[in-house]
Structure 1
Amino acid sequence: MTERQQQRLPADADAETRPSILGFPTDTAEDADQDVEPVPDGTEVAGVAVPRDGLVYVRRPDLAGGVLALLAGVADAASMWLPWERGGETTGLQLVVRSVDAVREGVAELGRTGLWQPAAVAVGGAVLVVLGLLLLRPARGHRVSGVLALAVTLAVAAAVVARAVDAGWDARLLGPGVWCAAAVAGLGVLGALKAMLTAPRVTTAPAEPLPVS
């Protein structure tokens, strides 16, 4: 055995004893300056059970999903300050105020007048801002926030579609506020899907430092 082969033995032996997932070595948490969380018993990665000892979840923020949700909130604010009818002066905020007055007369009045549409957009955009802030917090995963964001976004999309139906699908009758509301739905869907489809990251636990005598 040559001297070069003797030097390779410790590295090969370390590779055999190193924790792996599906035969591939995992990243070490020492290289990534991130929060970690122990993996509970019975956890599976890609359908294969992994041992608890030596593996941890990396707690990290979802920057892309959070930024998309916050941009949806910005588009919602724009839709409130812009008119919802082409050539009109009635802004989305004024329609929301009218919707509050309509609620006092009954929910049926709110649906008959179509004032629920700007109200749904306003509330949905505010909720997306809160969920966007939650996505920016380090966590094992953000799928719950993603599901909630998707449900809220679908309500906003339904309001935009209903507004287009009331206009007879004539884009010339829709004001810039409606188009900003459509941007809320589009950005919200992208952010929600990003949060839902991002799987948790599993890595090896950092080695404990040896006591110094």
Structure 2
Amino acid sequence: MTERHQQRPPGDGAGAAPPPPRVDDGTGPTILGFPPDPAEDGDVEDVEPAPEGTAVAGVAVGPGRLVYVRRPDVVAGVLLLLAGVADGASVWLPWDRGGETTGLDLVARAVGAAREGAAELGRTGLWQPATVAVGGAVLVVLGLLVFRPARGHRVSGVLALGVALAVAAAVVARLADAGWDPRSPGWGVWCAAAVAGLGVLGAMKAVLTAPRVTTAPAERLLVG
């Protein structure tokens, strides 16, 4: 008992003084033990401070030390806008090889069939060009949204992915109606396929791009 008491380190016990405060080693905030990317001059122009108690990659964020960089997703925006360009081409080009019926003509017929009911729209197959036309317009709007600086664009990406898959379903149904003969569809159908492909690529780019976390001087933080 006496020997154990003698080996107790100094400062241990009920009346012992509190341990000395930890000294900051100057490493700064980390994410999973690794320092965040250093802020560049353009990064701190539009940032969003991480609120207290927020966890980034499973690690608690210290208030005022880490920030989210608000930035546009240029690649996703360009892909979605190109999908809109392909949609415009599919509207003005014929949908049958050697025919003169353009996508715009089919959309006008789809509007008339929709007045008679959804069953008529589905029976005639006019829902396919209508879906492509409306889907391409929606992709353009979502493409403009991802050009806005934000912490992330995953919501717009998920919406764009759903729209692009709907366009892809319309194209597949059109090819199935043509007996899977690649010589039967016109250039308007292939432009519609480009709408689906570019839309999926742009949507996946927006969904898979993670928010960037960095450090910035507190006096330059701009709350967006």
Corresponding position of 1:138? 149
Report the number of matched residues: 197
Contact 1:39 1:56 in 2 (8 A): yes
- Candidates 43, 53, 56, aligned match of 2:54: 43
Mapped partners of 1:128, 1:72: distance in 2: 7
Structure 2 counterpart of 1:96, one-letter code: V
Please state if 1:112 is matched with 2:137.
no
Does residue 121 of structure 1 match 2:118?
Answer: no
Post-superposition Cα deviations, 1:127-147, rounded to whole Å, max 9, x if no partner, equal 000000001110000000000
Post-superposition CA distance 1:103-125 (Å, at most 9, x none): 11111100000000000000000
Whether 1:199 and 2:210 are equivalent positions in the alignment is yes
Secondary structure in 2 matching 1:24: coil
Higher helix share: 1
Q: Give the aligned residue type for 1:124.
A: G
Please say which of residues 50-59 and 37-46 is displaced more in the overlay.
Answer: 37-46
1:15 deviates by 6.4
RMSD over aligned Cα atoms: 1.7
| Pairing partner for 1:25 from 35, 55, 76 | 35
In structure 1, the residue matched to 2:180 is 169
Of structures 1 and 2, the larger Rg is shown by 2
Match of 1:147 in 2: 158
- Structure 1 segments of 4+ aligned residues over 4 angstroms from their partners: none
Q: Which runs of 5+ in 2 are unaligned?
A: 1-22
Map Cα deviations across residues 47-84 of structure 1 (whole Å, 9 max, x no partner). 22222221111000000000000000000000000000
Take 1:154 and 1:41, find their aligned partners in 2: how far apart are those partners? 38
Contact 1:55–1:204 (CA under 8 A) maintained in structure 2: yes
Distance 1:89 1:50, change over 3 A: same
Question: Aligned residues: percent identity?
Answer: 78
Matches of 2:59 and 2:106, distance apart in 1:
54
SS state of the match for residue 62, structure 2?
Answer: coil
